[in-house]
A and B are shown apart, each in its own frame.
Chain A
């Protein structure tokens, strides 16, 4: 619980829900006749409606990006380090919108909702999604909020994929694209990690082929294992070495006695897995990893990223982290190179840090400095 709300926090925020009755035709050909998007907003929309910033969340992100939903919250939103008064995404200057993507499990229409046509949980029958579908639904949200053009769309990892897709699908609807620790498609190794996570979930008896909500079970073990694998890949050997080393949480190695040993790192991973397994929907996790796997920015552009980005009209800021091995700097450099070849305005920062993929969520000074400088430039353009 925050004893008091920090000064540079957006404070207490209440999620809002937008209902959509216009059918949404998905990339798969399926149609969602109606759906809801839960979202949070921070800051004030100016009279010209020119200061709106869209935040696209990653795999386990939600609409709760900053501030606190109640005084009982132990932690602020997932990107509180970057969103707030005076922070990189300065809520004194920007009107920030962060939706929970459809297919999610935090309030927007998804597998843990009732399908109005069957009266049962969507479960594994929720229509398959692609990044393009999220972008389309976010555009519908923008329409309802009266935002014709975003000052910037910002996202890390899977969020960065949405940002890039926006720049191609609705080029005239954003002025800046901030793409952090992302890639134009996943590598085979990345897809493989996702498949291991999915297999972990499916092999839990409580998964019940995805109909676990109807059966009243929750595949906790499978979800926890999936999260442990995922979490592990977001960190680095060096970081885990300095954070946990070989420290013991319990037991010892005294000779002549057996006291079962648990390393700190085991305990940490168990905790992360368990926490996630009660908070996340297994079908959503499987679907989101599929969305990641399927994403390929240039697929419809003859697999030519330069041709793809030729359609963009916005300016880009691309950021990567040296030790990120799931979305490595090389993958961000591909984005940067394609943008330069396409003649688009782009700046690129490569942050030296030991934190791996997780770095994009953390308060790393050089990262915050360049992020802040770029966002200040956007704010300056709005004021002038």
Chain B
């Protein structure tokens, strides 16, 4: 997501001077901003070489690791917040990653592209093609996004696993009007942002 509108929202849920772990930290931009604005002590996990170099350049703590290998190196409740922005759909077992996040962190913040968004639905239902949208700009055969879910799917998983939803915000660039998104998030949200705890 180019504008990373989700960053602004989730930053409100991070407590000042807390310990934060960011899974799939990219170039470290979010942690850099959290360090400046919230004085957090942050660590990012990344496995893309260019992004690791970018994170080092940005002065953040970056740990080279593949998220699919789990978070076994991290002890229970060792972070105040574990974040994962726009990476849920690229890991091989999103449910296990979520559980690991909730084990390591007291709270978690997850953002993901909503596959139930009307544009995605239109692609599949009318055109009979896998969705290619601004948020999901890949063909089916080359996409790193291997586990899509809708807002509703995600909430079912949370319910099944006893994960508590503390907050949720839906973001859509096309529908800045809040009412539509909140009324029918599964259809209108482009990005879903969840604040979770055990």
Contact residues of A with B, CB < 8 Å?
A: 333, 336-337, 340-341, 343, 345-350, 366, 369-370, 373-374, 376-377
**Interface of chain B, main secondary structure:** mixed
A223, B75: Cα distance in complex, Å:
45
A156, B64: Cα distance in complex, Å:
19
A376 to B62, Cβ gap below 8 A?
A: no
A345 to B61, Cβ gap below 8 A?
A: yes
A377 to B53, Cβ gap below 8 A?
A: no
A336, A347, A366, A369: which has the most chain B beta carbons within 10 Å? Answer: A347
A341, B144: Cα distance in complex, Å:
32
Which chain B residues border A336 with CB–CB below 8 Å?
A: 63, 73
Q: How far is the CB of B93 from chain A (nearest CB, A)?
A: 22
Residue of B nearest to A374 (CB): B56
**Interface of chain A, main secondary structure:** helix
A376, B64: Cα distance in complex, Å:
19
Residue of B nearest to A377 (CB): B59
- Contact partner of B57 (CB less than 8 A), chosen from A341, A366, A376, is A376
Which chain A residues border B61 with CB–CB below 8 Å?
A: 345-347
- Sorted nearest first, the 6 A-B pairs with minimum C-beta distance are A373-B56, A348-B63, A373-B53, A350-B64, A349-B64, A347-B62
A53, B65: Cα distance in complex, Å:
28
Known: A333-B73, A336-B63, A347-B62. A341 touches B78 (CB 8 A): yes
Known: A346-B61, A349-B64, A350-B64. A370 touches B41 (CB 8 A): no
A313, B151: Cα distance in complex, Å:
44
B52 to A343, Cβ gap below 8 A?
A: no
Which chain B residues border A350 with CB–CB below 8 Å?
A: 64-65
Q: How far is the CB of A10 from chain B (nearest CB, A)?
A: 24
A340 to B43, Cβ gap below 8 A?
A: yes
A377 to B56, Cβ gap below 8 A?
A: yes
Considering only residues 3-48 of chain B, those with a C-beta below 8 Å from chain A are: 19, 41, 43
B52 to A341, Cβ gap below 8 A?
A: no
Q: How far is the CB of A306 from chain B (nearest CB, A)?
A: 10
A347, B64: Cα distance in complex, Å:
8
At the interface, yes or no: B49 with Cβ under 8 Å from chain A?
yes
At the interface, yes or no: B175 with Cβ under 8 Å from chain A?
no
A58, B168: Cα distance in complex, Å:
53
A369, B55: Cα distance in complex, Å:
12
A373, B55: Cα distance in complex, Å:
9
Known: A340-B43, A370-B52. A347 touches B57 (CB 8 A): no
Q: How far is the CB of A343 from chain B (nearest CB, A)?
A: 7
Residue of B nearest to A329 (CB): B64
- Contact partner of A347 (CB less than 8 A), chosen from B19, B63, B74, is B63
Q: How far is the CB of B176 from chain A (nearest CB, A)?
A: 38
Query: What mask results when residues 143 to 154 of chain B are scored 1 for a CB within 8 Å of chain A, else 0?
Result: 000000000000
Which chain A residues border B49 with CB–CB below 8 Å?
A: 366, 369-370
Which chain A residues border B62 with CB–CB below 8 Å?
A: 347-348
B53 to A343, Cβ gap below 8 A?
A: no
Q: How far is the CB of B53 from chain A (nearest CB, A)?
A: 5
- Contact partner of A370 (CB less than 8 A), chosen from B56, B59, B75, is B56
Which chain B residues border A346 with CB–CB below 8 Å?
A: 43, 61, 63
Which chain A residues border B53 with CB–CB below 8 Å?
A: 369-370, 373
A343 to B63, Cβ gap below 8 A?
A: no
Residue of B nearest to A339 (CB): B61
A350, B53: Cα distance in complex, Å:
12
Which chain A residues border B57 with CB–CB below 8 Å?
A: 373, 376-377
Which chain B residues border A333 with CB–CB below 8 Å?
A: 73
Q: How far is the CB of A180 from chain B (nearest CB, A)?
A: 14
A348, B75: Cα distance in complex, Å:
18
Q: How far is the CB of B52 from chain A (nearest CB, A)?
A: 6
6 residue pairs A–B, Cβ–Cβ below 8 Å = A336-B63, A346-B61, A347-B61, A373-B57, A377-B56, A377-B57
A373, B61: Cα distance in complex, Å:
12
Q: How far is the CB of A353 from chain B (nearest CB, A)?
A: 12
Q: How far is the CB of B32 from chain A (nearest CB, A)?
A: 12
Which chain A residues border B52 with CB–CB below 8 Å?
A: 349, 370
A343 to B41, Cβ gap below 8 A?
A: yes
Which chain A residues border B75 with CB–CB below 8 Å?
A: 341
Q: A348-B64, A349-B52 are in contact. List 15 more A-B contacts (CB 8 A).
A: A340-B73, A340-B74, A343-B41, A346-B43, A347-B55, A347-B60, A347-B63, A348-B63, A350-B65, A366-B49, A369-B53, A370-B56, A373-B53, A377-B56, A377-B57
A9, B64: Cα distance in complex, Å:
31
Which chain A residues border B19 with CB–CB below 8 Å?
A: 343
A370, B63: Cα distance in complex, Å:
12
Which chain B residues border A374 with CB–CB below 8 Å?
A: 56
